């Protein structure tokens, strides 16, 4: 055995690659616990930290330097879409996988434009979640077959960037609220889900109506229900 072999622990041996570090950002402890269990049963992955909101996510990224961030849209102290934009701006090489209960047909395109590497719904099978993680860690984009087909259709019809819809003028938060209205949630339920006041939700509803050229609350609800059903 040479001296070099002795220092390395013997010829032909090599240190095992370190697990890829995953940061979980979700405001529900039960969800984070389930994801942690799922991730740590998969060889090559480990959860390096958890956060329930935007501030915690910022601190965890700085302290733990994860290899990938899994983030929900609705967080304890902010908006997951804005967090994705912020993290991508400061850490463009860091993959961001959005895992959310919100309809991917509504949000996937906006999240990809904001800097997300992938989008998967919480209702998806556990093996698809691991597959999505591996895809974004490999530098690829992960979206469902249905969203992929829709984006290809839009591109063939004139380009994703040139496509215009009535909802394009809405902010990310307004789009989120419109989708929740379309799913039948009241202002109080929307406020509780997004950790906002009812007064704030009502102000958003007024801005949404103005941008969509709607006059009454009933028109807003009808528009929202029809829009959600079309996605």
Domains plus CATH for the chain?
A: 20-153 (3.40.50.2300), 166-229 (1.10.10.10)
- Residue 230: per-residue pLDDT: 74
| Residue-by-residue DSSP string for 8-48 | HTSTT--PPPPPEEEEEE-S-HHHHHHHHHHHHTSTTEEEE
Tell me what the mean pLDDT of segment 102-119 comes to.
Answer: 86
Tell me what the mean pLDDT of segment 165-177 comes to.
Answer: 85
- Nearest partner of 100 among 122, 115, 118, judged by Cα: 122
Give the Å distances, CA to CA, from 183 to 3, 59, 158, 187: 69, 34, 30, 12
Tell me what the mean pLDDT of segment 168-185 comes to.
Answer: 89
pLDDT band at 12, cuts 50/70/90? low
Q: Count of alpha carbons within 13 Å of 153, Cβ hemisphere only?
A: 6
**Taking 70 as the threshold, does the pLDDT of residue 204 lie above it?**
yes
* 50, 167 Cβ separation under 8 angstroms: no
Structure tokens at 172: 């990310």
Tell me what the mean pLDDT of segment 83-112 comes to.
Answer: 89
Pairing of strands 68-71, 20-25: parallel
Between residues 222 and 101, which one has the greater pLDDT?
222
Asked whether the whole model's pTM tops 0.85, one would answer no
pLDDT band at 194, cuts 50/70/90? confident
- Residue 23: per-residue pLDDT: 98
pLDDT band at 15, cuts 50/70/90? low
- Residue 8: per-residue pLDDT: 46
pLDDT band at 75, cuts 50/70/90? confident
Average pLDDT, the chain: 85
**Taking 80 as the threshold, does the pLDDT of residue 200 lie above it?**
yes
């Amino acid at each position: 055995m040479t001296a070099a072999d002795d220092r390395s622990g013997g010829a032909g041996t090599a240190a095992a690659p370190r697990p890829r570090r995953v940061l979980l950002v979700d405001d529900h402890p039960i969800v984070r616990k389930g994801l942690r269990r799922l991730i740590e049963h998969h060889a090559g992955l480990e959860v390096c930290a958890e956060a329930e909101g935007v501030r915690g996510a910022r601190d965890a990224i700085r302290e733990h330097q994860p290899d990938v961030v899994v983030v929900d849209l609705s967080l304890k102290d902010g908006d997951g879409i804005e967090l994705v934009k912020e993290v991508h701006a400061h850490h463009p090489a860091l993959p961001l996988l959005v895992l959310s209960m919100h309809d991917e047909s509504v949000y996937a395109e906006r999240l990809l434009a904001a800097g997300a590497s992938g989008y998967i719904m919480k209702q998806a099978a556990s093996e698809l979640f691991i597959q999505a993680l591996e895809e974004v860690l490999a530098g690829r984009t992960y979206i469902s077959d249905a969203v992929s087909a829709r984006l290809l259709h839009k591109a063939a019809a004139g380009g994703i960037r040139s496509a215009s819809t009535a909802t394009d003028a809405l902010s990310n938060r307004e789009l989120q609220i419109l989708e929740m209205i379309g799913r039948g949630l009241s202002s109080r339920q929307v406020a509780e889900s997004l950790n906002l006041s009812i007064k704030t939700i009502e102000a958003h509803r007024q801005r949404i109506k103005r941008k969509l050229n709607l006059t009454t609350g009933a028109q807003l609800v009808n528009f929202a229900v029809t829009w959600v059903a079309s996605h």
